[in-house]
Amino acid sequence: MSPGSVGHLGSRATPGSATGPHTGRGRRTRIFFRSSSASVVVAVLLDASRILAGCPRLAAWPEGLVVARALERALAATCPRTLVARALASLDLGPRCAVLAMGKAASAMAAGAAGALDGRIVCGLVVAKHAPEALPPPFACVVGDHPVPGPASLAAGRAVVDFVEGLAPDLPLVVAISGGTSSLAVAPKAGLDPKTLAEASRRALSAGLDIGRTNALRMRLDRLKGGGLARLAGRRTVVGLVLSDVPGHDAAFVGSGPLSPPPPVPLERIASDARALGLPPSVTRLLARPSEPPPKVPLLVLADPHTAAHAAAEVLEDAGFRTIVDATAVEGVARDVGGRLARAPRSPGRTARVAAGETTVRVEGAGIGGRNTELALAAALALAEGPKETTRDRRVVAFATDGEDGTAPSAGGIADARLAADLRAAGIDPTDALARNDSYSALAAAGAALHTGPTGTNVADLILVLDGGAGH
């Protein structure tokens, strides 16, 4: 690929000392975990039986096994370890290189790189949300904060800067990026207080600002974002591998674009968002400051949300559903989207609609939940209230492919026309739970929360809407 181009591919470290492996020219990078020679456990790819075990209500659906197999296939199609290994097999990086992996899928991406490069990695750093059980040598790991950057994210940002600055000038660098990078490693630009940077993220998320506008703000406040990592790497050879959680192959937005210049978003719109969030004048002054264009870096998109959607659709089609994959991304306020999906006109026969994307939540209460549990609970209310000819056997599934959904200890939830009544019979008011942002607590009480644990990948969310069930 030419520099700056974007391609697309296919459809617990043991606690150690505070210094990590050599970075290529005698300097050492400060870290928090050291790699181990023990067996590598970096990703959890779920099979259908484990998905069903984590959601009793899904297991009771006539089409529950088919849904679980669809989610299983979606995760397999976006396995970071496999995708990275495949991509690196086609690249000529020479006899030695360095690898930096960041994001929710960082550990699995690092393992894929280690397998493909077979001893050619002289130094490596993983920035992750969770410390893996083990990583292959010579990787070190640092854990950041998510979804709002905190002290660990600042430490991770310093580790990234030290790692890159410590590399020998002629050592090629592979950067593996996945969603979550924006929060896990941060480095405030000069003149910006770290607390202000964290507060900007917190307010944007709490206000329900979509991820594109949130990342547009982050790109201009963080020296690692908006091409900042590419500037830091200088003139060395850099290759970017991107596991995208952004529909539409827009690699520049993944992780707030460490290797990409900020997209051409009007600065006045970004400044308007900053003012609406009540951010201090120091932020608006920094937004107005021009930044130097970063060096062009080739990016290869390994997979994205639509990869997962099409994989899930294949399973549903094989099971006899007429399947529609939405070309447009799911976005908007989660409870609004859930209601809209539940009330959508019904097509004849057994139909499955598959969509991908990421909704937002307006945080107004102190309950437990996330965008997918909120979408599912809102759908349950709408299904209960809708005309029986539309909703009688409609199923809605909202699933975070990384296995984590906001403050909920689940990957999302499911809904059917009987769920709201079952909750009320158990003494739970679903309308009140939704108003208090306590969607997870309600779904969990009815066995309708999807418990998977971290999956090791991250390509945003999958939404399934099924009509016709198992043919009943």
pLDDT per position as a tens digit, 70-89 = 999 999 999 999 999 999 99
Q: Left (φ > 0), alpha (ψ -120 to 50) or beta: where does 357 sit?
A: left
Give the CATH number, domain containing residue 450.
Answer: 3.40.1480.10
Res. 287 pLDDT band, cuts 50 70 90: confident
Residues 157 and 285 in one domain: yes
Residue, of 36 and 134, whose pLDDT is higher: 134
Q: Tell me the pLDDT of the chain averaged across its residues.
A: 88
Q: Which of 35, 9, 38 is nearest to 20 (CA)?
A: 35
Among candidate residues 303, 320, 353, the one where a domain is terminated: 303
Among candidate residues 303, 336, 363, the one where a domain is terminated: 303
Residues 73 and 84 in one domain: no
Look at residue 112 and tell me whether its pLDDT is greater than 50: yes
Average the pLDDT over each of 54-68, 257-271, 352-366 and give the range with the smallest value: 257-271
Q: How far apart are the first and last CA of the chain?
A: 51
Burial class (CB in 10 A: 0-12, 13-18, 19+), 3: exposed
Among candidate residues 303, 338, 359, the one where a domain is terminated: 303
> 1 lies in a domain?
no
CB burial readout 158-171, b (16+ within 10 A) else e: bbbbbbbebbbeeb
> 145 lies in a domain?
yes
Residues 145 and 70 in one domain: no
> 472 lies in a domain?
no
> 207 lies in a domain?
yes
What is the average pLDDT across 44-73?
94
> 200 lies in a domain?
yes
CB burial readout 11-27, b (16+ within 10 A) else e: ebbeeeeeebbbbbeee
Return the number of other C-beta atoms located less than 10 Å from residue 342's C-beta: 26
Q: Please tell me the total count of domains within the chain.
A: 2
Place of tokens 């080739």: 298
Residues 210 and 178 in one domain: yes
Residue 102 domain boundaries: 6-42+80-303
Q: What is the pTM of this model?
A: 0.87
Res. 290 pLDDT band, cuts 50 70 90: confident
User: Using alpha carbons only, how large is the chain's radius of gyration in Å?
Assistant: 22
Res. 8 pLDDT band, cuts 50 70 90: low
Which residues are paired to 1 by β-bridges? none
